[in-house]
Chain A
Amino acid sequence: MYIQKILNPFNQIRFYLEDFFYQKKDNAFTFLSILVHILFLLPMISLTFNKDKITDIPLILPVEMFIVEEKTAAPEFKQEVNEVIPDMVEQVQETEEEVIEEVEQIVAKEEILATESVEEENDFVIEKKIKPEEIIEEKPVEVKNDFEIKLKNKPEPKEIIEKPEVEIVLKAKPKKKSFNVSKVLKDIEQESKDFKKEQETTEEKQSDVFTDEVGEKMTISELELLKQQLYSCYTVPAGSKGFEDMKVQVQIFVNPDRTVKEAIIKNTSKMSTDPYFRTAGEAALRAFNHPKCSTLMLPEDKYDEWNEINFTFDFSWMFDKG
């Protein structure tokens, strides 16, 4: 009975629908249209309820920790963003004026050239074409340039250029392999030029890295520059036994002018007992005596920071652990 009661409303709906379809056939299409729309709309409405769930997915961003100096090492930025730069307008105006002046000068020169006699020593003649004052008819313009360059007294090439049968090539005599002062001087000069260039590049690098506005401690960039300099001075004795776990510690004392005052190996006990370690140690010391590293790339205003530096030469990078 209970089930019948429950089902009653459904039966009523069924009856209603039957009546609707059988008795009111005209409205059948309207009903179907509404039904289809509802079917489409329902899932769309239900999706909106899940909106929060989608947006609530937390975005995990990697965070790197840096020890930041009090002040940045970057050079100070003078212009504010979006600031109108008045100089630029002036510069543009000046440039325009210069261009106009140059054009005028060129025109003047052209006129002079056109009027001057050109029969002296030149192989060609530059003639000024005088434009007609009155345009009679519109004709296709034959010459676009204001000038026409004509070859003077030179017939058109008719003959094929003959190639010489015998090619004479002057060759310098092979030099005997002997001590040549000029060669040495030239090489040294070249080397000194290279050295000057290197110094200039170094100074540029230094000026990029060592700014006035930096903290008291050595920045990462400054340390990296020092490392890069030493990499170029340090010849690794590759392939020697036991380098895998070998670490050479070198203490250096630096003069205020950034030259190395003294370099000593801290773990000296191995120097006399292990020949491989001695080789590694000597190679490390040699790096500080290398001409390229005679003056270290250090910020001058942080002498207290670098007057004494402890270097560790680590050879483990040479060994492929794969």
Chain B
Amino acid sequence: MKKQFSLILFIVFFSSNVFAALEVTISQGKVEPTPIAITDFFGSSDKAAKGGKILREIISNNLTNSGLFYTVDEDLYIQSDNLVDKVPRFEDWKIIKAQFLLSGDVNYSNNTYIVKIRLYDVFAGQEIKAVKMSIPNLELIRRLGHKISDLVYERITGEGGYFDTRIVYISEVGPLNQRVKRLAIMDQDGHPDSHQFLTNGKNLVLTPRFAPNNQTITYMEYENNIPRVYIYNLKTGVREIVGDFPGMTFAPRFSPDSQKIVMSFSDPKTANTEIYLMDLNTRTIERLTNDPGIDTSPSFSPDGKKIVFNSDRAGYPQLYIMDTNGKNIKRISRGKGVYGNPVWSPRGDQIAFTKLTQGLFHIGIMDIVGLNERVVVKDFSLESPAWSPNGRYLIYHRQKRSKEDGTGGQTSIHFIDITGFNERKIQTPRDGSDPAWSPLL
């Protein structure tokens, strides 16, 4: 029995060694945009064809601007017919190195534009997404283009899209000492057709912030030199005052459920700035910090359990995390320099911040315990980092140096991948600062 058992053991051990498959670890690869081919979106009528052309352009621009894709030159396409109702010749697309293929068409019937799209994985030779959408008129064609871009992005990258979103920001014009600042909003791609002003420029406006789960913004407005916190509902156009606060008020920001606002304001008697939490339903205010240092720039974690903020309680501004009741305060930043403007990522795994060191502003990210700090961009003046809703990109504003005669100092809004690549300027009609990204529409 023993002999038989040992023989079996020997055979099993020996055979496992003999027939073991070769093991190879791949620990490198290319980090470059994925080539995607987007065919013409054929239309059943001239109007539909026009809509199709606009759709293709929007989708192509969105995907290219993301930095994760590039659209293969249309001149190289070998197969040029409508591929919505037929299987593409994948070899023709392989030869031009397209890894994905997007095809679509637009039909107009019963006062409705119906758009069909099909997304193919060229290398695998299979369809990976097919969608049918409709819009009542071509005025919504831009939104539809963004929606399709999100679907493609989500299917290929595995993370949520960010194309069907808007950016609210402060539009600036005039010399530095007489700057006119207006609240403005636009699509995330900065398309001129989508741009509109929300305030008339009579009063100074600052720090607009989007609610994480609806189309509401909160911002500061100085009416007759009195700072007030406002809430603006973009769907209804209704604007309401959250409250008058004595002394200086800073940076209101919504909680993840959009039911509370966290902000900091200074006590006029002591001139000490602390962080407060306000319930928007009951309008009750709760003080969260109590320290002789200046506590400001609070930002909620996406689960609503923690708040990251900035404090100089240790002698110079650093980043801290606390529970939403103000307890369990821990310092997370450890590097040299002056830290500020912490913003918690919608993914929950990163915190973006600004840092002033060696005479330059840096925008960086670190994990929630302060490790793996990484600077993604640095310049003379960088401020107000804000996350895209998928936590993949940051927007911020950059200011140029001003001259002695008061000229210069232009501000512009920029976009960057958290990998530190693909930085680009978002075009605005005038100077832009203090951007905030909306959730998906």
Map CB proximity to A onto B13-24 as digits: 1 under 8 Å, 0 otherwise. Answer: 000000001111
Contact A239 B419 (CB under 8 A): yes
- A234-B29, A235-B34, A317-B28 are known contacts. Are A310 and B22 too (CB-CB below 8 A)? yes
Q: Quick one: which of A240, A278, A310 contacts B21, CB cutoff 8 A?
A: A310
Contact B22 A320 (CB under 8 A): no
B interface secondary structure, majority: loop
Which one of B52-60, B156-164, B407-415 contacts A?
Answer: B156-164
Kindly list chain B residues whose C-beta atoms are within 8 Å of the C-beta of A321: 372
Contact A310 B24 (CB under 8 A): yes
Q: Quick one: which of A238, A286, A306, A317 contacts B123, CB cutoff 8 A?
A: A286
Q: Quick one: which of A191, A235, A314, A317 contacts B95, CB cutoff 8 A?
A: A191
A-B contact list, 30 entries, CB within 8 Å: A177-B75, A179-B75, A179-B77, A183-B75, A187-B76, A191-B95, A231-B26, A234-B29, A235-B32, A235-B99, A236-B31, A239-B417, A240-B157, A241-B159, A241-B391, A275-B154, A276-B159, A282-B121, A285-B124, A286-B124, A287-B29, A289-B124, A291-B95, A291-B97, A310-B23, A311-B25, A312-B26, A313-B26, A316-B27, A320-B374
Contact B159 A275 (CB under 8 A): yes
Kindly report which residue of chain B lies nearest to residue A306, judged by CB atoms.
B22
Kindly list chain B residues whose C-beta atoms are within 8 Å of the C-beta of A313: 26
Q: A235-B29, A279-B159, A317-B28 provided; 5 other pairs, C-beta below 8 A?
A: A179-B80, A235-B31, A240-B157, A240-B158, A286-B124
Report the count of interface residues on A (CB-CB < 8 A). Answer: 54
Contact A308 B349 (CB under 8 A): no
User: Shortest Cβ distance from A211 into chain B, in angstroms?
Assistant: 19
Map CB proximity to A onto B93-130 as digits: 1 under 8 Å, 0 otherwise. Answer: 01111010000000000000000000001011100000
User: Shortest Cβ distance from A160 into chain B, in angstroms?
Assistant: 49
Kindly list chain A residues whose C-beta atoms are within 8 Å of the C-beta of B27: 314, 316-317
Map CB proximity to A onto B137-176 as digits: 1 under 8 Å, 0 otherwise. Answer: 0000000000000000010111100000000000000000
Interface centre among B24, B392, B417 (most CB of A within 10 A): B24
Map CB proximity to B onto A157-198 as digits: 1 under 8 Å, 0 otherwise. Answer: 000000000000000000001111001100110010000000
Which size class do B's interface residues fall under? Answer: 35 or more
Contact B24 A223 (CB under 8 A): yes
Bound together, the chains give a CA A275 to CA B21 distance in angstroms of 29
Enumerate chain B interface residues (CB-CB to A < 8 A). Answer: 21-32, 34, 68, 74-78, 80, 94-97, 99, 121, 123-125, 154, 156-159, 347, 349, 372, 374, 391-392, 417-419
Kindly list chain A residues whose C-beta atoms are within 8 Å of the C-beta of B30: 231-232, 234-236
Q: Quick one: which of A251, A279, A286 contacts B99, CB cutoff 8 A?
A: A286
Bound together, the chains give a CA A236 to CA B33 distance in angstroms of 9
Tell whether A309 is near chain B: CB-to-CB under 8 Å: yes
Tell whether A290 is near chain B: CB-to-CB under 8 Å: yes
Map CB proximity to B onto A291-302 as digits: 1 under 8 Å, 0 otherwise. Answer: 100000000000
Bound together, the chains give a CA A275 to CA B24 distance in angstroms of 25
Kindly list chain A residues whose C-beta atoms are within 8 Å of the C-beta of B374: 320
Tell whether A215 is near chain B: CB-to-CB under 8 Å: no
Bound together, the chains give a CA A311 to CA B124 distance in angstroms of 18
Kindly list chain B residues whose C-beta atoms are within 8 Å of the C-beta of A306: 22
Bound together, the chains give a CA A251 to CA B190 distance in angstroms of 45
Tell whether A125 is near chain B: CB-to-CB under 8 Å: no
Contact B26 A241 (CB under 8 A): no
User: Shortest Cβ distance from B150 into chain A, in angstroms?
Assistant: 14
Kindly list chain A residues whose C-beta atoms are within 8 Å of the C-beta of B74: 179
Tell whether A227 is near chain B: CB-to-CB under 8 Å: yes
Q: Quick one: which of A178, A227, A278, A320 contacts B158, CB cutoff 8 A?
A: A278
Bound together, the chains give a CA A250 to CA B28 distance in angstroms of 15
Contact B157 A312 (CB under 8 A): no
Bound together, the chains give a CA A188 to CA B121 distance in angstroms of 21
Bound together, the chains give a CA A147 to CA B29 distance in angstroms of 64
Kindly list chain A residues whose C-beta atoms are within 8 Å of the C-beta of B418: 239
Bound together, the chains give a CA A191 to CA B156 distance in angstroms of 26
Tell whether A75 is near chain B: CB-to-CB under 8 Å: no
Contact A230 B372 (CB under 8 A): no
Across the A-B interface, how many residue pairs have beta carbons closer than 8 Å?
A: 117
Kindly report which residue of chain A lies nearest to residue B99, judged by CB atoms.
A286
Contact B419 A238 (CB under 8 A): yes
Contact residues, A192-227 vs B (CB, 8 A)? 218, 223, 226-227
Contact A180 B159 (CB under 8 A): no
Kindly list chain B residues whose C-beta atoms are within 8 Å of the C-beta of A285: 124
Bound together, the chains give a CA A280 to CA B26 distance in angstroms of 13
Bound together, the chains give a CA A319 to CA B25 distance in angstroms of 17
Interface centre among B21, B95, B159 (most CB of A within 10 A): B21
Contact A180 B75 (CB under 8 A): yes
Kindly report which residue of chain A lies nearest to residue B347, judged by CB atoms.
A241
Kindly report which residue of chain A lies nearest to residue B30, judged by CB atoms.
A235
Tell whether A19 is near chain B: CB-to-CB under 8 Å: no
Q: Quick one: which of B21, B78, B80, B391 contacts A251, CB cutoff 8 A?
A: B21
User: Shortest Cβ distance from B372 into chain A, in angstroms?
Assistant: 7
Bound together, the chains give a CA A180 to CA B31 distance in angstroms of 31
Contact A218 B22 (CB under 8 A): yes
Contact residues, A31-76 vs B (CB, 8 A)? none
Bound together, the chains give a CA A314 to CA B271 distance in angstroms of 53
User: Shortest Cβ distance from B152 into chain A, in angstroms?
Assistant: 13
Q: Quick one: which of A179, A234, A238, A305 contacts B22, CB cutoff 8 A?
A: A305
Bound together, the chains give a CA A314 to CA B25 distance in angstroms of 7
User: Shortest Cβ distance from B18 into chain A, in angstroms?
Assistant: 9
Bound together, the chains give a CA A204 to CA B105 distance in angstroms of 47
Contact B26 A239 (CB under 8 A): no
Map CB proximity to B onto A262-276 as digits: 1 under 8 Å, 0 otherwise. Answer: 000000000000011
Contact A290 B24 (CB under 8 A): no
Bound together, the chains give a CA A178 to CA B29 distance in angstroms of 35
Kindly list chain A residues whose C-beta atoms are within 8 Å of the C-beta of B159: 240-241, 275-276, 279
- A239-B417, A239-B418, A286-B99 are known contacts. Are A276 and B26 too (CB-CB below 8 A)? no
User: Shortest Cβ distance from B57 into chain A, in angstroms?
Assistant: 13
Kindly list chain A residues whose C-beta atoms are within 8 Å of the C-beta of B124: 282, 285-286, 289
Q: Quick one: which of B25, B99, B125, B158 contacts A276, CB cutoff 8 A?
A: B158
Kindly list chain A residues whose C-beta atoms are within 8 Å of the C-beta of B347: 241
Kindly report which residue of chain B lies nearest to residue A289, judged by CB atoms.
B123
Kindly list chain B residues whose C-beta atoms are within 8 Å of the C-beta of A227: 24, 26, 28
